[in-house]
Amino acid sequence: MSQPAQPTPTPPASPLPDAVHRLVEVPGGRIHLVEQGTGPLVLMVHGFPESWYSWRHQLPALAAAGYRAVAIDVRGYGRSSKPREIPAYRMLAHVADNVGVLSALGEETAVIVGHDWGSPIAANTALLRPDLFTAVALLSVPYSPRGALRPTEAFTMLGGAEEFYINYFQEPGRAEAEIEPDVRGWLAGFYAGLSGDAKKSPSEADPRSDATSPSGQGALPLFSVPRGGKLSERFPVDPAPSPWLTDADLDFYADEFERTGLTGGLNRYRNVDRDWEDLAAWQGAPLTQPALFIGGELDAPTNWMADAIKAFPVTLPGLSASHILEGCGHWVQQERPEEVNRLLLDWLRVLPAPVGAP
């Protein structure tokens, strides 16, 4: 078994002074992670455009409850490796990173938790390595097995007369040119537009609702781009301050992306068809480990993937519970930290011990 990685110095002005920052070696390079506590390992995987920091409320809560809580910077983010090649961000590479983190920390098994893009990364990690990842919690994005339709074709249909945001993100450099002139402003608009503070009704969070689509084809306004336009054209105008996202929080994210750029995170979107090809052998495969799902009532992915939630009895047979948080938007664990912490801990406490555990 690999020896635990040696801690690196905590960066200046760390928002979690009790946490330990590490750089661990994995086959694809290095992963930066932040950990607190001792006990069974809970590995947390963030989404776009975030960082380990999106789990800042969960790290101390899990540590206090007797868990070794670890939040990573996904490859392409923070101090983790940032390969130049787009295929280096395929799903199989993210799965390998998570396996490498487990080994570098000297652990044999872990519970994995993911939000946004971190949710399918966590789900596929558990799907491909059930021997290592014994339970999985998914936030915002429900589990949906690999289907028959190529993803970019499906997203083209979803966008209708406009361009669905995932298709908009496909061309290297295009979204970067929109974001980089004002990283902080773009992030503020993106975070605000997807939060519960935007006060969207459930129907407005569903891109299949033609009544809310400027294209008349059902695309959620914030998730569709006018032909030749920019995603930021759909951001809220002068959004009110969010109680869950302080100026200091926004500064942290903006500082990270001013330093690293957004290409690493965007490259995840540029691999959706490659993932579909790589995972052909797992088409329709259920995820059988004990599972938990937490979504927001006003969270767009939770709403437009309602059919995936309905399919949980087949696709997620080990599901313990599915929770939809009233009035909550997309940034589930940040908008409702106390509620998410309670649901996670209640679920973790009743998980069966891994096979071979003392």
Active site residue ranges: 116, 330
Crossing angle of helices 183-194 and 247-260, rounded to 10°: 130
Q: Name the nearest CA neighbour of 262 among 169, 333, 163.
A: 169
CA angle 163, 168, 172 (to 5 degrees): 155
Between CA 309 and CA 306 the distance in angstroms is 5
Helix (H, G, I), strand (E, B) or coil at 51: coil
Crossing angle of helices 118-128 and 91-104, rounded to 10°: 70
HSE toward the beta carbon, residue 357, CA cutoff 13 A: 15
Q: Are strands 20-26 and 29-36 parallel, antiparallel or unpaired?
A: antiparallel
Between CA 111 and CA 102 the distance in angstroms is 10
Helix (H, G, I), strand (E, B) or coil at 308: helix
Alpha helical stretches, state H, 180-326: 183-194, 247-260, 263-269, 272-278, 300-304, 306-310, 312-315
Residue 84, Cβ density class (10 Å: 0-12 exposed, 13-18 middle, ≥19 buried) = exposed
CA angle 291, 103, 354 (to 5 degrees): 40
Helix (H, G, I), strand (E, B) or coil at 182: helix
